Amino acid sequence: MSAGTLRQTWLAEGRADVPADAVEAGLWEELAEEAERLEPFAVVRHNQRPGLLAMRDGSITSPQRCTVHPGGAALRALAQSKALADVAAEATGAPTMTAIRFGFKYYQPTDYMHVHRDDGKFEITFSAALTSGLGAMGWLPNLRWLTTAEVVGRLAETPYPDGDAFPIQYRALTGFDGSRIPHWRAPLDSESREVLVTVCFTDLSV
């Protein structure tokens, strides 16, 4: 995908498809092995505070349950890859992009994440499934440019809104505007645990 197409898709839809050759096939194997090895050390993230909480940075927090780990050498290699930073810069129009948060998320059956917005510092969030049964994420790109108060007002009583499906691809990264577009993960309907990898970028030049 050309830089122009990346930028156009980002502006119009709030997402960015990462070319398959941006991540070496061998790195996916390393990521899968690393996620498996680090899982016993993952920390439970279980926010039970009901409703939506608007933060000063524009993010919105909400109830969720999963386990998380910041990863190791393989995930750092992905986060620090020039190819991924270039996709982030081309899509968002920023001069340079730096990964500031990344990690593995482990979802057991019935684990969930209510509708929310990501940290306001994140210009683009990339995600991919490391297992094959994770399924799509829900999102509402039509609410991308609403204020935090407007989003909370509309969705306060709706943990899983009637929105669009955002496919989380197996071993293929897709970027999205997670700090602006409300998104969520319905309770995992699976008999096995599934693993998500995420990498969030920001523009440190501003």
Query: What confidence score (pLDDT) does residue 4 get?
Result: 81
pLDDT category at 204 given cuts 50, 70, 90 is confident
Residue 203 identity: D
pLDDT digits (tens, 9 = 90+) for 83-139: 999 999 999 999 889 999 999 999 999 999 999 999 999 999 999 999 999 999 999
Please answer whether residues 181 and 14 qualify as being in contact, where contact means their C-beta atoms are separated by less than 8 angstroms: yes
Strands 194-202, 124-129: pairing is: antiparallel
For the chain, what are the domain ranges?
3-202
Which of 119, 84, 116, 114 minimizes the C-alpha distance to 99?
Answer: 84
For residue 154, count other CB atoms closer than 10 A to its CB: 16
User: Mean of the pLDDT values across residues 17-42?
Assistant: 96
User: Mean of the pLDDT values across residues 24-41?
Assistant: 97
Give CA–CA dist 145/148, Å, rounded: 9
Query: What confidence score (pLDDT) does residue 166 get?
Result: 97
Please answer whether residues 92 and 72 qualify as being in contact, where contact means their C-beta atoms are separated by less than 8 angstroms: no
Query: What confidence score (pLDDT) does residue 118 get?
Result: 97
Residue-by-residue DSSP string for 160-205: S-S-EEE---BT--EEE-TTTS-EEEPPP--SS-EEEEEEEEE-TT
pLDDT digits (tens, 9 = 90+) for 138-191: 999 999 999 999 999 999 999 999 999 999 999 999 999 999 999 999 999 999
In a 10 Å sphere around its CB, with 0-12 CB exposed, 13-18 middle and 19+ buried, how is residue 54 labelled? Answer: middle
CATH topology of domain 3-202: Jelly Rolls (2.60.120)
